Amino acid sequence: MTIISDDNNIKHKIKTKNEDTTPAETSFDMSFEANIRPKCFDEYIGQSSLKSTLKISIEAAKKRDMPLDHILFYGPPGLGKTTLASVIAAEMNANIKITSAPALERPRDIIGILMSLKAGDVLFIDEIHRLNKISEEILYPAMEDFYLDMTTGKSQTLKSIRIPVPKFTLIGATTKAGSLSSPLRDRFGIIHRLEFYSDEELTQVILRTAKILDVETDEKGAIAIARRSRGTPRIANRLVKRVRDYATVKYNGKINEKTADEALDILQIDKFGLDNTDRALLKIISEKYNGGPVGIETLATALGDDAKTIEDVYEPYLVQKGFLQRTPRGRKLSPFACKCFNLKYTEIQKNLFD
Ligand code: ADE
């Protein structure tokens, strides 16, 4: 067992690859991601109302010497659901086991991981909406009353037995809360949506990451990256690395407004944070479907991508920024998109993306 953080007296233990892990468990590596990941609430920037709620629940659970209620996080990818789960485990002085629903396909996967837990552990299941029905049903009594319902023997000698599971906290994460079955959703005591980050919050994330990476970065450089990070810390951190590369090759390695803007222009990320795929998506709606509405499957075919990626990855930010509207009849460009480019609706279709 490796103690990776001892900040603020928090002993946060994360199991390493060959150490006491079950096959379904994802091992943690000490990569770039792990290195820059906040380890406690004080280091975690943004999501302030969620953090306040969680801090109270954690303090109450500690006072009662009970595990924290099960928690469900939902929202677009890259907003820090896994990071937050690790922070919660650290704040609870607990171990965390990290897995994802596709790794829990067979009953023995979920049983194995549940049986490997120790009292107080946090179990994090990513993409929990993808859990199959059998695994879900194994999980219900474990979540509710901390036991597993198992059957032994064959036909006439079939016996049902109950095996206790240590009291644990399940943290589920999903980009699609609506796809979760209601019996599963109802078993979470705390349900929270993670919000896109403001430019100010992303600037703080970028300055923190740059400091850990030891890249000299001024505030204006951080703001320039933040503006084009589509409200998402994962993207902001990725762009920091790209800008650092550019600044190293073309200048003196320092990140400032000039190096950031030049590097991001080369990456073809525009001032709204949109990349080539976002622009292609809007362009298709505009040119091929007269601004919409167009069904998601049709749009996916025209774009050459799958509907799930459009829905989970591209759409949330385009909707949040007001470029795209979801209507019962399909997706369409918003009046804001027209206003933003100072064009009449019909003009958009020929001029917007020339
Ligand atoms: N890196 C990624 N997400 C972060 C966050 N919320 N706070 C600080 N650093 C981060």
Residue 71 β-bridge partners:
171, 190
pLDDT for 27: 53
State in Å: Cα 45 to ligand 1 middle.
Answer: 6
pLDDT for 291: 86
- Our answer to whether residue 81 is catalytic in this structure is yes
Phi-psi label, residue 20: left if phi above 0, alpha if psi -120 to 50, beta otherwise: left
- Determine which one of 81, 187, 208, 321 is catalytic: 81
Ligand 1 atom nearest 234 alpha carbon: 2
In order along its 354 residues, the chain shows pLDDT tens digits of 232 232 333 333 334 333 455 666 655 445 777 889 999 999 999 999 999 999 999 999 999 999 999 999 999 999 999 999 999 999 999 999 999 999 999 999 999 999 999 999 999 999 999 999 999 999 999 999 999 988 888 877 888 889 999 999 999 999 999 899 999 999 999 999 999 999 999 999 999 999 999 999 999 999 999 999 999 999 999 999 999 999 999 999 999 999 999 999 999 998 889 899 998 898 888 888 888 899 999 999 999 999 999 999 999 999 999 999 999 999 998 878 767 655 445 544 444 444
Whole-prediction pTM? 0.85
CA distance 97 to 119: 13
pLDDT for 23: 60
Q: Are 294 and 333 in contact (CB under 8 A)?
A: no
pLDDT for 129: 96
pLDDT for 345: 57
Query: What pairing do the DSSP bridges indicate for beta strands 12-14 and 2-5?
Result: antiparallel
Chain position carrying tokens 């943290």: 171
- Determine which one of 21, 175, 217, 259 is catalytic: 175
pLDDT for 15: 40
- Our answer to whether residue 234 is catalytic in this structure is yes
Pocket test for ligand 1, best of 196, 205, 237 (most atoms within 8 A of CB): 205
Ligand 1 neighbourhood includes 81 CB (under 6 angstroms): no
